[in-house]
Homo-oligomer: A and B are copies of this chain.
Amino acid sequence: MLKKSEAKAKSRLNRDKDKFYAGKKVLITGGLGFIGSTLALRLIKQGAEVVVVDALIPGYGGNRFNIHPRASRIKVVIADIRSEKQMDKLVSGHKIIFNLAGTLSHVDSMSDPMTDLEINCRAQLSLLESVRKYNPQARIIYAGTRNQYGKAQYLPVDENHPQEPTDINGINSIAAEKYHLMYFKVYGIKAISLRMTNTYGPRHQMRHPRQGILNYFIRQIMDGQTVELFGNGKQIRDINYIDDVCEALYLAGKSNTGWGEAYNLGGIPVSLKDFVSLAIKIFGSGRLKIVPFPQDRKMIEIGDYLASWKKMHKTYGWKPVVSLEEGIKKTIDFYSNYKKYYW
């Protein structure tokens, strides 16, 4: 199983003999974050000239160590995407913009809705305005989220599923995605949205669970803490390993089709309990405990989630290839080596 998926991952890299990214100027917002940094590392391997923008806001996912040891090959700009003037300058000249800046916390968006709006809604519109004015030829790949759907009314959730989020973050993500897609329809700006599901893997921040629970479970296991799961732990989540998500971004960025549309990512449905159990098994020790739902979490709990990623496969040929075992193992290995930069 491991060997098979590793072989597939290698074949991906071999596919890139077309050198699309070689010499291409690429901007990644949120580029010191989990997904942005992993993508940056991948793209410089392909010869891209990568500029990452990150505000390094405390508590968010940005971490300078994320681009170690390739930092010298990646241009880092510490800037906030909320700063319109800075973004006006930064967008210029880039062929491809991966727009990954944003927060992803359900809980934070409810306790501080205005900050969520500023970052996930206002700054996104502002960025599109910068692109429209100063670089209308750029391609923009926006990171949407499964959080836009809210509770699944049917499974698997396809892109036409109603969008009724259970939190502010989901609503602001909808607005931001709609701005992107509308800018294609009205102005011809080549924008798409990839609606990401739970992503895990190396370079995710590990200090709190608010931006992604899977990595935090792994930290708890590595710390010898008991992992507490709400309800019965049988909630299904559709999980992607970071390399599969970067592959999706990579493919979308180099294709010249499918603009003005949204695409689900997804791939490995697993219950939270099974994910944690497997991580405990791979790590070699750990404890899992089922506890009742806290009231505030129950209100925004979305139940089972399972995505249809057929559209993504059909349009860009994407499919996730990294097995859960391999993904968890690589994640644990990474943090075992670099714990001090993330704990």
Instruction: Name the one of B110, B126, B160, B164 contacting A114, with C-beta atoms under 8 angstroms.
Output: B126
Task: Say whether B125 contacts A114, CB under 8 Å.
Answer: yes
Task: Say whether A117 contacts B113, CB under 8 Å.
Answer: no
Given known contacts A110-B186, A114-B122, A121-B117, A171 and B165 CB-to-CB distance under 8 angstroms: no
Q: Let me know if A79 is at the binding interface, CB within 8 A.
A: no
Q: Interface code A154-184, partner B: CB below 8 Å = 1, 0 otherwise?
A: 0000001010111110011011001101100
Interface SS of chain A? helix
Q: Let me know if A1 is at the binding interface, CB within 8 A.
A: no
A179 to B172, CA, bound (A): 9
A99 to B144, CA, bound (A): 29
Given known contacts A110-B186, A166-B185, A175 and B179 CB-to-CB distance under 8 angstroms: no
Interface size of A in residues (CB-CB distance below 8 Å):
28
Task: Say whether A162 contacts B160, CB under 8 Å.
Answer: yes
Instruction: Name the one of B167, B172, B181, B186 contacting A299, with C-beta atoms under 8 angstroms.
Output: B186
Task: Say whether B186 contacts A178, CB under 8 Å.
Answer: no
Within 8 A of B (CB), among A43-84: none
Q: From A129, which residue of chain B is reached at the shortest CB distance?
A: B113
Task: Say whether A178 contacts B171, CB under 8 Å.
Answer: yes
Given known contacts A174-B174, A175-B174, A178-B174, A168 and B125 CB-to-CB distance under 8 angstroms: yes
Q: Interface code A211-239, partner B: CB below 8 Å = 1, 0 otherwise?
A: 00000000000000000000000000000
Q: Let me know if A300 is at the binding interface, CB within 8 A.
A: yes
Q: How far is the CB of A86 from chain B (nearest CB, A)?
A: 16
Which of A160, A167, A186 is most buried by chain B, counting CB atoms within 10 A of its CB?
A186
A172 to B174, CA, bound (A): 10
Which of A122, A167, A168 is most buried by chain B, counting CB atoms within 10 A of its CB?
A168
Task: Say whether A122 contacts B125, CB under 8 Å.
Answer: no
Task: Say whether A117 contacts B122, CB under 8 Å.
Answer: yes
- For residue A114, which residues in chain B have a CB less than 8 angstroms away from its CB? 122, 125-126, 129
A185 to B168, CA, bound (A): 12
- For residue A171, which residues in chain B have a CB less than 8 angstroms away from its CB? 175, 178-179, 182
Q: How far is the CB of A182 from chain B (nearest CB, A)?
A: 6
Which of A110, A162, A179, A300 is most buried by chain B, counting CB atoms within 10 A of its CB?
A179
Task: Say whether B186 contacts A179, CB under 8 Å.
Answer: no
Q: Interface code A255-299, partner B: CB below 8 Å = 1, 0 otherwise?
A: 000000000000000000000000000000000000000000001
11 A-B residue pairings within 8 Å (CB atoms): A110-B186, A114-B129, A164-B182, A167-B186, A168-B182, A171-B178, A171-B179, A174-B174, A174-B178, A175-B175, A186-B300
Given contacts A114-B122, A185-B299, 13 further A-B contacts (CB under 8 A): A114-B126, A117-B122, A164-B178, A164-B181, A165-B182, A166-B186, A167-B182, A168-B179, A171-B182, A172-B175, A174-B175, A174-B178, A186-B300
